[in-house]
Structures are given as C-alpha cells and as structure tokens.
Structure 1
C-alpha cells in the first residue's frame, strides 16, 4: 500500500517560517525572521534565507523577497516551478491570525507574480502552535505507550475539542520519551489546494519524519523546525557582530554594532553555503 500523498504528483515546495525575538527588556536588538524551502521532491533538502527586522515584529516584513529567493532556488534545483506552496508558519498567536495571514499571504502572491505575471500556484497556509495547555490521554489503558502512559505517535484529534467551524486539528507526531507528550495544534488559515482533513493531517505527520537530526518523528514538521533553527543560529551571528563592534569602538570611538546594514550583513548567508543545510 502506497502512503505517499497525492500532492507529490505535481511539483510542490514546502516552506517553513519563524521569527525569533530579543529577550524581554531589550527593545533595541532586532527580531530575526527565517524562511526555509524544500529543494527536492522527497522532500529532504532545504535552503534557507534570513532577515533582521524591527524588534517584537511578528509579521515577516520582507517575506516577498525571501519567498522569491527560495522559488528561484527550487527551480534551479529541480527545473520545475512548483504548482503548490505548502507554508508552515510557527510562532503566531490566535490574536494575530488575521493580521499575519492578510500580510503574508499577499507577500507570497507578490513573490510569485514577480517571477512571472500569470504564475499563481495554490497556497496552503498553516500555523503551527506548540505553546498551549492541551494534553491528550488514552481512555483505553492497553493503548498507552511507555512508562508515562502517553498516546501513540500519530494520534490526531479534529473533533470535539477543536474549533466548531474553522479548520484546525491536534497532532501528536512524536513518541513521548519522558513526561506527558504535548500535541501540536495546527490551524489551516488558507487552502487553495482544497485538501481534505485526512490528506493534510497525513502529509503533516509524514513531514515530521523527515527531520535529519533525528531517526524518530519529531513534534512539528521539518520545515517549521528548520526555520526555528535558522533564526536561532542567526541570533548568535548578531552576538558575534556586536562583540566585534564593541572591541573596535575602543579604537574608533564609535560603534556600528546596531547599524541596520551591519546587522543585515551579519545574518546574510554566504553563497558557498546557500544551498547547503548548514543549520542541520
């Protein structure tokens, strides 16, 4: 029996996006936005792009150019233009759904049109939430897994405790090793591709098995996980830049550590590593 989703019958690109913010109390350091995109048909190889933006800004301001870069890299790698874009967005609270969707969906459309006037691939926009208080338990003791009695990996709930009319579901894609497993909460905010609930849940679960650092399934899809790693790593690039600038200021009498152009250059990915998974 073939479990490969039908979405792979045509060229499809998987995008993951995340924004990391500076620590509480530091209003001068910028937020860092990262977007990754799949570069093959499996998908297993990813390419990343990073930007700095205003502190505490959750909307990815430069998303259009970031997606455009990834679409160009996808075409260079596969010689195909994706007919579908599956976008996993991490780090958005429910109160920001409407605002983020409105801006970022238009940005993705703009990126496509900038490449070709009539190029309009179907977009599926999914928000991944990890910070919530919902926990799932097996009613039947015989189905519990491990010493902690967790639910089996792959458990999906899309009724009763979900929104009455919006498209959302809980998926516990990983096997709990210690403590109680926390399922991820997925909100499908936009779906041009008309996925059924079962199709999207299976696709999401399978993407949780493609994370290269681990031989087990992880708690969120690989694209969203990689975007988090890229943004987190870029934060250290900024720290190094500010450290170098602070040392230079003793000689020059001034510091450009927080200059926007210097910060943007600090997180810029070098051409030699642009098409490698340096973050994995």
Structure 2
C-alpha cells in the first residue's frame, strides 16, 4: 500500500536588512498545533471503525483462544510463561540497580509475548493488526491533508509511513512476528502524538490486568505469582504519581512494566 508522504513546514529565514533590504516578509503562516494533532490521534485511537491494534488487546484475545482450546495450545502457553519469567527477572535486575540487564530481559519478555500471540491467534490476527495500523495512518493523514504541521510532527508521521511499508513487507515475506512488532510500533507511534492519552490509557489497562491476575490465581497463588502481583501494584502506584506530576512518559513506561508482570500471571494460568 502506498502512503502519502507528510508535508514538511518550509523554514522561513529572515536575512539581515543590510544584506537584503527588500526581502519579502511572509505573514500568517498558520500551523496546525501539536495539541490539535494530539486530539486527532486520540479520536483515531478510540475509533471503533479504525481498530488500531494494541498488544494488550491481543493478549486478551490470546487468553480467550487458549482457554477455548482447553489448554491444547502448549506452544503459546510456553511463550507466555517464558515472557513472565523474563519480566520478573527484569524487575529483579532493576531492583539490583542493573538497568542494562533489565532492558535486555524486557526485550526478551516482549519477544515471547509476540510469539505467544502468533501461536495463539495465527497469522490472521497479524494481518488484522497491520490492517488496523494502516487504517489509523490513513485516517490521520486524511485529517492532516492540506495543512501545515511542525517539522517534528512531520518527521514522526514520516516514520510511521516507513514502518507500515516494512510491516507489509514482513507480512508478505511470511515473517508474522516481525510484522506484528512493526504494526504495533506504528500504532503506538500514532497514539504517542498524545503522551497524556497514552499514559492515562496504559494506567487504566495496568489496573484492569492486576484485577485479572488476582482473579486468575484465586486463593492459591504461587510464590512467584504473589511476588509479581505485589510488584505490579507498587509500579501502578508509581505510575499514578508520575501521571499526576505530568511526567507522562515515565507514567506510561512504569504502567507498562506493571501490566507486563500481571499479564504474565494471567496468561501463565490460561493453560
């Protein structure tokens, strides 16, 4: 699929009067504000017709699929349990002050979650994720068509265009895990035009999945599950504090860490 390249705002440079006394003055160049673009991005993220994909949504669908199979999808369950182990180990590394190791472990956890989704839902779900990100990009471009936007916004939009080209290439090359990762990255790129929105939604999701984790273990949590839920609650509190302080990126990333731990418990119990 071909995408329109974003319109870059031309830089207007005023030369010194001594060098160019008759230089023309350009007036009333009106930019579409970043706040307006953020509002568009929020509307697209909430649109039922666009269906912008999210990893949380795919994890929920994976759990339902595994339960419907009565635990027969052992491959998906193995990936989700591995994802939980790596996520827990990442928090151990963070508490020990080894953030480099923690980042590596989180990447490994993320990779297993993607593989678990593909194993549970198949390539049709990946194609749906790519299509959802395509629809979101098209809707955003339609809203911005014919308007001037800041150079920063144009670069971010151009990055999303490039990601969608790559996602399509991975999909047609039968590389579903890579295609899914890129499609989700593109979808997040659209959402991240509004950091406050992303942080608020992620905190809400983290809160919901903690409840699911508690329900999943009931009165018989393992030591590892109890530890993960306790950590998830603590991280959610930190995320709320960061949000109230308008530290939206920190709030988002901390809430993601919380949800990662809780999802490990939930999907680990699905099989």
* TM-score of the alignment, normalized to the shorter chain, above 0.5: no
Q: Which of 1 and 2 has higher RCO (CA within 8 Å, sep 6+)?
A: 2
Q: TM-score scaled to structure 2, two decimals? A: 0.27
The structure with the largest helix share of the pair is 2
Q: TM-score scaled to structure 1, two decimals? A: 0.26
Larger radius of gyration: 2
The structure with the largest strand share of the pair is 1
